[in-house]
Amino acid sequence: MEISENLLCLFSADVREEDGEYVVDVPRREVETGSVEPGETYRVALISRSAGADGAGGAERDGASASGGTDVSASRADDGPQPPVEPGEMRYVEIEDLGKQGDGIARVERGYVIIVPDTDVGERVKIEITEVKSNFAVGEVVDELH
């Protein structure tokens, strides 16, 4: 899956029907933190939570350019799905759940889990990946986004 370096925000949302159209609500915090401006047009990618490695569902709306992506899978050996993150990588994530030990849980491509200690549900943080395993990674908060 190709992820643009111009990614402005990442969040989970439901698609709902309203007056004969389908709508995805952008969380207020995305506007308040300056990631998204009301009235602007953006390209939007929809990725199913249950999508596998090839199962990215995509819907894009013409508008602001999101070119210049990096193919995450191209540099890895073709021996099955690889973790979508690498040690030392910086990521912006949203904490979606808390683990059994109270650590924040964020999900990225293909539902891959990143454990982020000392965070709470709903927080958006910039993290550095410190440890990568086949089914999860650990990240350390570098910056909190309000």
Give all domains of the chain, ordered by start, each with its CATH number. Answer: 90-145 (2.40.50.140)
- State mean pLDDT over 89-98: 93
- State mean pLDDT over 106-135: 92
pLDDT at 72 over 50: no
Q: What is the pTM of this model?
A: 0.49
Q: Where are the beta strands (DSSP E) in the chain?
A: 2-4, 15-18, 21-24, 69-71, 90-94, 97-98, 104-107, 113-116, 124-132, 136-145
